[in-house]
């Protein structure tokens, strides 16, 4: 077997290879729809408020869905892009679900929670607050089918 040295490439020889990728960000196909970013911000706020102030989380979740879907449709019609619209739709959906779950649990536990809050409002001492916990926590645990004593860990949150 003989090895033949490769001949040096001549200046006239051009080898065809795969094209080199362009440097920098990919080109934008069309106009950028700015309301996609708005949907992202609204969706983020919907998720945050869904944990702390769920009526506002409901409103912001619906708003994020509406703004995000409109941004995607407008970008599709203009053959453009809507950065943040998909993430805004996702965050708005999760925020809406968390808020809806919070509203449902609050509605389900309304008699117990309102009675507990009234009892705590009338309590003058820590001993009175303990009496309220011993009266209402077992009711909440029974209604939620939780083991006895499970509310003792989270009693300070109410």
Average pLDDT value for the chain? 84
The tens digit of pLDDT for each residue in 81-134 reads 889 899 999 999 999 999 999 999 999 999 999 999 999 999 999 999 999 999
103 vs 62: CA distance, rounded Å = 15
What is the enclosing helix (H) or strand (E) of 12?
none
154 vs 86: CA distance, rounded Å = 36
Q: What is the pLDDT of residue 149?
A: 85
Q: What is the pLDDT of residue 33?
A: 76
The residues spanned by each domain of the chain are 35-106, 110-157
- HSE, CB side, 13 Å, CA atoms: give it for residue 48: 7
Residue 49's Cβ-count burial label (10 Å; 0-12, 13-18, 19+) is buried
Encode 98-120: b = buried (16+ Cβ within 10 Å), e = exposed. bbeebeeeeeebeebbeebeebe
């Amino acid at each position: 077997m003989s090895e033949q040295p490769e001949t040096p490439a001549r200046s006239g020889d051009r080898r065809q290879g795969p094209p080199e990728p362009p440097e920098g960000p990919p080109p934008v196909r069309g106009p950028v729809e700015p309301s996609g970013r708005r949907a992202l911000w609204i969706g983020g706020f919907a998720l945050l408020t869904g944990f702390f102030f769920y009526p506002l989380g409901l409103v912001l979740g619906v708003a994020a869905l509406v703004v995000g879907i409109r941004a995607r449709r407008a970008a599709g019609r203009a053959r453009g892009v809507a950065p943040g619209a998909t993430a805004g739709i996702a965050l708005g959906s999760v925020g809406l679900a968390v808020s809806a779950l919070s509203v449902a649990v609050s509605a389900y536990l309304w008699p117990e929670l309102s009675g507990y809050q009234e009892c705590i409002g009338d309590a003058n001492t820590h001993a009175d607050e303990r009496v309220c916990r011993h009266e209402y926590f077992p009711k909440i645990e029974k209604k939620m089918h939780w083991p006895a004593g499970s509310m003792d860990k989270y009693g300070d949150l109410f």
